[in-house]
Amino acid sequence: MSQHFQKANVTQIPEIWTILQQAIARRKADGSDQWQDGYPNPEVIQSDINKNAAYVLIEEQTIVGYCALLINDEPEYQNIEGQWITNDHFVVFHRVAIAENQLGKGLAKKLMQFIEAFAINNNIYSIKADTNFDNHAMMAIFDSLGYVYCGQVFFRGTPRRAYEKVLEQKR
């Protein structure tokens, strides 16, 4: 099955919100505090769309994944306890979620590959991201894709593991 990655639009908010609600429930079932404080919510999705940062992973006309992509736009990353690998331009992604009925198909990794392609297409060779200390699934994805643990950052008073991947520049 082939997937494609595209900007989200307002008509897709209900589908995106369903996917995020499923992810919120999974995090809770895993015993995590991540996303258990009313974030993310439909207003966050709307804000992502307004900033042209909302992206969906589509498979056969169905939204199967979501994330927000921003370029050089994460103020909290300036306050890392640790050190980033680079200080160049970067893509940051947030709110990665895969539909419940699509889990186990490698779509999170596929989504991350689309994020890498997005960065390269924008001549950016650093991707930065963070996750909760108890999000073992995301940490495993980071490890398998060559992300490097750089320290911790804080969001809404909570420490998060910060990662960076430096992409190879094509010559």
What DSSP string describes the chain? --EEEEE--GGGHHHHHHHHHHHHHHHHHTT--TT-SS-S-HHHHHHHHHTT-EEEEEETTEEEEEEEEEES--GGGGG-EE--S--S--EEEEEEEE-GGGTTSSHHHHHHHHHHHHHHHTT--EEEEEE-TT-HHHHHHHHHTT-EEEEEEEETTEEEEEEEEEPPPP-
The per-residue pLDDT for range 36-62, each reduced to its tens digit, is: 888 999 999 999 999 999 999 999 999
Instruction: Determine the longest span between alpha carbons in the chain, in angstroms.
Output: 46
Residue 127 near residue 167 (C-beta atoms within 8 A): yes
Residue 2 near residue 59 (C-beta atoms within 8 A): yes
Q: Is 156 a residue whose pLDDT tops 90?
A: no
pLDDT band at 153 (very low <50, low <70, confident <90, very high): very high
pTM: 0.93
The per-residue pLDDT for range 100-118, each reduced to its tens digit, is: 999 999 999 999 999 999 9
Which residue type does 39 have?
A: Y
pLDDT band at 83 (very low <50, low <70, confident <90, very high): very high
Length of the chain: 171
- pLDDT (average), residues 5-29: 96
pLDDT given at position 171: 66
Query: With the C-alpha atoms ordered 167, 85, 135, 92, is the resulting torsion angle positive or negative?
Result: negative
Residue 64 near residue 18 (C-beta atoms within 8 A): no
Mean pLDDT of the chain: 94
